């Protein structure tokens, strides 16, 4: 009996495994508290409050999404834009729901402010969810600025789905040919990104190919590396850093022009 008691004292009691869901909720509650504290601070500027939202976007939980979404209606553009940006990086159905609802509510303002409009389009495009397609295609070619049309096309191209391919090609076939031709480089880029197929800047070629391929086509698991100019256009839109060819050039030049004060850099 004595030996058994000694053994029980030596062997530590087994601990129940931590609950990941519980841990995440605690993190989320703490994140919400930090956001609330920042917004209650009257001395804090709008840009700082926006950064407070961005700082918590890494905690992917509905509580944090809901708290950040609350600021979509903020009258201060710096805060509103930070909320849009933050939700765009939080890949979750609740993020998309909040962004789509906001797009309907604030549509008139977006139409008058291209930068704001494009930021919202990018945010829903980053969700890579078919549920965003209707919002992205709505009156796509009627917008007066090329930046907004490009953003909508590229956002569709970022949603890796057969439905996205079908959507783009349908838009090309039912829209006035002159309008389509004006935006064909962006349409071509989005379609190549989705399909890994390059049929050039000819809408009819794409439509003919899709007519025979649609029933059996499957989206490639990975997007292709496109031709240099197309890849640059895509990367620039999404804000990706182009490090894949700059390092080689740097070794040849010794220094990038933008890093060289004598070459006009900052």
Question: In this structure, are residues 133 and 167 in contact, taking their beta carbons and an 8 Å threshold?
Answer: yes
Same domain, yes or no: 64 and 122: yes
Q: CA 27, CA 248: separation in Å to the nearest integer?
A: 42
Whether 209 maps to a domain, the answer reads: yes
The total number of structural domains in the chain stands at 2
Question: In this structure, are residues 60 and 90 in contact, taking their beta carbons and an 8 Å threshold?
Answer: yes
Please list, in sequence order, all residues whose beta carbon lies within 8 angstroms of the beta carbon of residue 245, skipping any fewer than 6 positions away: 228
Same domain, yes or no: 56 and 71: yes
pLDDT in tens, 145-184: 999 999 999 999 999 999 999 999 999 998 888 889 999 9
Same domain, yes or no: 116 and 199: no
> Which of 86, 112, 127 represents a domain boundary (last residue)?
127
Rounded to 10 deg, the angle between the 46-55 and 20-40 helix axes is 180
Q: Measured in Å, how far apart are the chain's first and last C-alpha atoms? A: 80
| pLDDT of residue 3 exceeding 80 | no
Whether 4 maps to a domain, the answer reads: no
Return the percentage of the chain with pLDDT > 90, whole number: 78
More confident residue, 157 or 252: 157
Containing domain of residue 58, as a range? 26-127
Q: Which residue has the tokens 């605690």?
A: 26
Same domain, yes or no: 142 and 225: yes
More confident residue, 244 or 58: 58
Residue 191: which of 172, 175, 215, 176 has the closest Cα? 172
Same domain, yes or no: 101 and 145: no
| pLDDT of residue 259 exceeding 80 | no
Indicate the average pLDDT of the chain: 88
State residue 265's pLDDT score. Answer: 38
| pLDDT of residue 13 exceeding 50 | no
Whether 231 maps to a domain, the answer reads: yes
* 3-state DSSP of 206-255: HHHHHHHHCCCCCCCCCCCCCCHHHHHHHHHHHCCCCCCCHHHHHHHHCC
Over residues 128-149, the mean pLDDT reads 94
pLDDT in tens, 206-226: 999 999 999 999 999 999 999
Please count the helices (runs of H) and the strands (runs of E) in the chain: 16, 0
> Which of 96, 127, 158 represents a domain boundary (last residue)?
127
Instruction: Describe the chain by its helix, strand, coil percentages, rounded to 5.
Output: 70, 0, 30
Same domain, yes or no: 170 and 230: yes
Whether 146 maps to a domain, the answer reads: yes
- The tokens describing 252, both together, are 């040849």
| pLDDT of residue 89 exceeding 80 | yes
pTM of the model: 0.83
pLDDT band at 16 (very low <50, low <70, confident <90, very high): low
More confident residue, 65 or 142: 65
> Which of 108, 127, 146 represents a domain boundary (last residue)?
127
State residue 168's pLDDT score. Answer: 97
Same domain, yes or no: 165 and 215: yes
Question: In this structure, are residues 218 and 162 in contact, taking their beta carbons and an 8 Å threshold?
Answer: yes
């Amino acid at each position: 009996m004595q030996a058994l008691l000694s053994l029980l004292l030596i062997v530590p009691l087994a601990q129940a495994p931590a609950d990941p869901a519980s841990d995440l909720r605690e993190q989320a509650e703490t994140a919400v508290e930090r956001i609330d504290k920042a917004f209650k601070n009257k001395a804090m500027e709008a840009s700082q409050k926006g950064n407070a939202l961005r700082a918590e976007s890494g905690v992917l939980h509905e509580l944090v999404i809901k708290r950040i979404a609350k600021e979509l209606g903020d009258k201060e553009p710096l805060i509103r834009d930070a909320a849009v940006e933050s939700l765009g990086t939080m890949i979750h159905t609740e993020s998309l729901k909040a962004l789509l609802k906001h797009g309907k509510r604030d549509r008139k303002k977006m139409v008058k402010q291209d930068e704001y409009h494009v930021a919202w389009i990018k945010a829903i495009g980053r969700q890579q969810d078919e549920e965003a397609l209707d919002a992205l295609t709505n009156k796509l070619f009627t917008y007066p600025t090329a930046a907004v049309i490009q953003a909508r096309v590229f956002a569709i191209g970022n949603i890796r789905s057969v439905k996205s391919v079908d959507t783009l090609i349908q838009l090309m076939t039912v829209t006035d040919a002159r309008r389509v031709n004006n935006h064909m480089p962006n349409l071509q880029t989005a379609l190549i990104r989705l399909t890994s197929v390059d049929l050039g800047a000819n809408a009819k070629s794409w439509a003919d190919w899709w007519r025979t391929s649609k029933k059996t086509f499957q989206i490639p698991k990975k997007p292709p590396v496109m031709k240099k100019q197309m890849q640059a256009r895509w990367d620039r839109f999404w804000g990706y850093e182009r490090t894949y060819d700059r390092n080689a050039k740097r070794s040849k030049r010794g220094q990038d022009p933008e890093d060289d004060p004598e070459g006009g850099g900052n």
